[in-house]
Amino acid sequence: MVEGLEALLALERTGTISEAAVQLRLTQSAVSKRIQSLQNEVNFAVIEPDGRRVRLTSRGLALLDKARPLISELKNLKDMQVEGEMNHFSIGISDSIASSWGPRLIRLAAKKEKNILLDIHVHRSTLVEENIKLGRYHLGLCVSPYVENQLAYEVISQEPMVLLSSRFDSDSESDTLITIEQNSATWKVVGADIMRHPKLKNYKLTHVESFAAIVQMVQAGFGHGLVPLGVALTMGAPKKSIHLLIPNIKREIKLISRKNISLLPVVNSFVKALKQTSKELF
């Protein structure tokens, strides 16, 4: 049943069998079989067609709401016998962090904490957090707009959002501001600040799915851009085209984990190393 519930969680997030299969790293047939097996066990339909997509039925939603804590606890069981000796962890990193300063931060922090071994995975922040909830990863370095009771959160750093001049020319004029999509974790954290910021509120906003794409579009002259400082620097934007905002807009970077993992001494030590090392970044 747990596998069926995991498939149902993926369908809730994505709305299609194909996208759920990609997230679960399964075939579409395997996802369909898991859903069918779950329906056979509970004896009612958990999904229904919604045009070309699928959605959870009311009973499917109710089942999932009741099952979330159970899924998390079942995933925790595999760690209980070895927690005291654990030093090998999987860590999910959000793509914008992984494409800028994230790998360097983790390498330097892990070097200070010599007893920790890490397997790194890269996803969008929302998927990183979901994989932590499901017990697929032990740790996640990402932007998290919400607080879940079953998870532990540590703020590692606050990364400034910066304004990039169109064509990397500080004298360039444009009424368009290219920024991240509204479903992203970063927008959910800083979107309200962007909308009311005195230097940004009058721009016509264009939303895209990638910070890296924003930098490329800015360079090509499609408008100004709003990106994390680390992305701007990593992608080679000239310093003269990078403008810190006043008042500042910053996104909180958090290390998240299940609560039992957060209590491990090696993880506590790693968190301290991350916080100390991050001071060198911004």
For residues 55 and 131, state if they share a domain.
no
Whole-angstrom distance, CA of residue 203 vs CA of residue 43: 53
Query: What value does the mean pLDDT of the chain take?
Result: 92
- Supply the pLDDT for residue 253: 98
Give 89-129 pLDDT, tens digit per residue.
Answer: 999 999 999 999 999 999 999 998 877 999 999 999 999 99
Phi, psi at 147, each rounded to 5°: -125, 120
Contact partners, residue 125, CB within 8 Å, separation at least 6: 94, 142, 143, 144, 184, 185, 186
For residues 133 and 147, state if they share a domain.
yes
Structural domain including 126 reads 85-157+252-278
For residues 259 and 127, state if they share a domain.
yes
- CATH of residue 92's domain is 3.40.190.10
- Supply the pLDDT for residue 232: 97
DSSP letter at 118 equals E
For residues 215 and 260, state if they share a domain.
no
For residues 168 and 220, state if they share a domain.
yes
pLDDT higher than threshold 80 for residue 260: yes
- CATH of residue 33's domain is 1.10.10.10
Looking at the structure of the chain, the number of domains it has is 3
- Supply the pLDDT for residue 81: 47
Q: Among residues 186, 164, 183, which one has the least CA distance to residue 251?
A: 186
Give 197-234 pLDDT, tens digit per residue.
Answer: 999 999 999 999 999 999 999 999 999 999 999 999 99
